[in-house]
Amino acid sequence: MGQNIATLFVFALILLLPQSESINKVIFVSLDGFRHDYLEMAAAKGRNISAFDHIRKQGFQAEVQNVMLTLTFPSHYAMATGRNVENHGLVGNKFFDERLNKSFKYKDPRRNMESDWFEYAGAEPLWQTNERHGHRS
């Protein structure tokens, strides 16, 4: 699915905490392999897309310009770090980190969520930047 990604959708839903708190929450959702026109196609066929419409109204939706390579791991890491593939270093869905002496692949949920590789090639993902600034992720 990740090899022929035409366009990734990014949905961000900002939920306000109770009025007494001044901290906002951001939920970042990426739909891998989800074409930019799937929702319009579904609506035209009379499918119920009310949940997506609700997210659009509460937050925002953006089209993402693909990075080259359009594979799952490199694309998602580019979104998380704000760096292109040539700057963050992940060029495939499988990679070996010499520093950690470990292999990673995006379909291995146990390994791909280990936080020790997230700063691969010095590319810090947004949740680590958030935590470094004293916030919770």
Mean pLDDT over each residue of the chain, to the nearest integer = 76
61 and 32, same domain (yes or no): yes
Is residue 135 situated within a structural domain?
A: no
pLDDT per position as a tens digit, 111-124 = 767 767 776 677 88
- The domain tally of the chain equals 2
Q: Give the span between the Cα atoms of 88 and 82, in whole angstroms.
A: 9
2 and 62, same domain (yes or no): yes
Instruction: Identify whether 7 is a catalytic site residue.
Output: no
88 and 103, same domain (yes or no): yes
Q: Which two tokens stand for residue 54?
A: 């609700």
* Among 27, 59, 52, 53, residue whose Cα is nearest residue 130: 27
Q: Which of 7, 70, 72, 129 is catalytic?
A: 72
55 and 109, same domain (yes or no): no
Inform me whether the pLDDT recorded for 1 exceeds 70: no
Q: Give the span between the Cα atoms of 75 and 43, in whole angstroms.
A: 27
2 and 55, same domain (yes or no): yes
72 and 37, same domain (yes or no): no
Is residue 114 situated within a structural domain?
A: yes
Q: Determine which of 3-12, 13-22, 23-32, 105-114 has the lowest per-residue pLDDT on average.
A: 3-12
